[in-house]
Amino acid sequence: MTTLLISHPAFLDHDTGPHHPERPDRLRAVMAALETEAFADLERLTAPAATREQLLRVHPETYIDAILGIRPPADELMAIDGDTIMGAGSAEAALRAAGAVVAGVDAVLQGHVASAFAAVRPPGHHATPDIPGGFCLFNNVAIGARHAQARYGIERVAILDFDVHHGQGTQAVVEPDRSLFYGSTHQSPLYPGTGSARERGIDGNVVNVPLGPDAGSAEFRAAWSERILPQLGRFAPELLIVSAGFDGHRRDPLAQLRLDTLDFGWITDRLMAAAEACCAGRLVSALEGGYDLTALAASASLHVRRLMES
């Protein structure tokens, strides 16, 4: 079985304005890296738009209507907050970013593919059910997790987040619900300022391992090997969903961690091994951050390459 790559041209039409780090060139860089011969065996799917029913499993109706109602004229932008910008194509991109993760869940749980990677923007892990922010509009991975539960009767879903920022939006969904698990490494201090190790959810269904600025491979690998993955095993999920952010790379301009490209191959291997142990290898990954184009392309393509080796 192979790996499914899900994307859509609409992700390039999410215009965040000049000089914004979360820009269309990020996705162009990732997709170009996945065009080489090494990725010829990928299955490819055009991302569908998420349905209202799928969005409502995470976000209230008033929130969905507010986000989808922001459709500024072409060449005009609307600032949701200091970081989060919407243009004419942003609502459509946001719908398809969530829909891409849902489609990945469908493909993996129906057994068509072993794993899926949703190459999307906007990212999602900072969006709480009712507050956008940190470049995020809908919480793509949480919507995917809820879809797995509602559509396939999956009881326990784990979301693993190696983006350099803490996914406080995802944690807000997971925290009160013992059917979900959230494990995250992230730099601290850094935006959004949450993710203390003391935030543990219910019965430890949230595992946060903050890393100091300048932490590198050793600290990152120890956090996953010694803290998050053992707790994940005890949770016994039936599906893994990954918030794959590559902004922990030492080249990234938004943070100070010192990870190398190979660390993203390592964490991919560890998560695949965890998926084999708990969930017949079922893993759906979604792009979050990563703002140095060279590091992003190399790291994301290595991530997909390792997924294809399942």
- Point out which residues bind Zn ion (CB under 5 A): 163, 165, 245, 247, 289
Task: Please answer whether residues 134 and 122 qualify as being in contact, where contact means their C-beta atoms are separated by less than 8 angstroms.
Answer: no
Taking the complex as a whole, the smallest distance from the CB of residue 289 to Zn ion amounts, in Å, to: 3
Region of 218 please: left (phi>0), alpha (psi -120 to 50) or beta: alpha
With 0-12 / 13-18 / 19 or more C-beta atoms within 10 angstroms meaning exposed / middle / buried, residue 72 is: middle
Spatial neighbors of 74 by CB under 8 A, at least 6 apart, are 87, 88
Question: What is d(CA 51, CA 48) in angstroms, rounded to the nearest whole number?
Answer: 9
Distance from C-alpha of 243 to C-alpha of 102, rounded to nearest angstrom: 14
How many other β-carbons are positioned within 10 Å of the β-carbon of residue 150? 12
Of 15 and 163, nearer to Zn ion (C-beta) is 163
Q: Which is nearer to Zn ion, 49 or 120 (CB)?
A: 120
Q: Is residue 73 classed as helix, strand or coil in its secondary structure?
A: coil
Q: How far is the CB of 125 from Zn ion (least distance, A)?
A: 8
Residue 115's beta-bridge partner residues? 3, 283
- The nearest distance, CB 139 to Zn ion, in angstroms, is 14
Helix extents (H) in 127-189: 140-152, 168-174
Alpha carbon distance 120, 257 (integer Å): 23
**Alpha-carbon dihedral of residues 260, 263, 268, 271, nearest 10 degrees?**
-140
| CB 164, min distance to Zn ion, A | 5
Residue nearest to Zn ion as judged by C-beta position: 289
Nearer to Zn ion, 87 or 289 (CB): 289
Give the shortest CB-126-to-Zn ion separation in angstroms.
8
**Cβ nearer to Zn ion, comparing 106 with 161:** 161
Nearer to Zn ion (CB atom), residue 165 or residue 258: 165
Q: E-strand spans in the chain?
A: 3-7, 43-46, 78-79, 85-86, 115-118, 157-161, 180-187, 206-211, 239-244, 283-287
Pairing label, strands 206-211, 180-187: parallel
Selecting among 14, 59, 126, 249, the annotated active-site residue is 126
Please tell me the distance from the alpha carbon of residue 287 to that of residue 120, in angstroms, as a whole number. 6
Minimum distance, C-beta of residue 202 to Zn ion, in the bound complex (Å): 26
Nearest to 274 by CA among 212, 217, 230, 216: 230
CA–CA gap between residue 38 and residue 4 (Å, rounded): 14
Q: Which is nearer to Zn ion, 161 or 238 (CB)?
A: 161
Pick 177 or 199: Cβ nearer Zn ion: 199
Is 126 catalytic? The answer is yes
Least Å from the CB of residue 163 to Zn ion: 4
Active site residues: 126
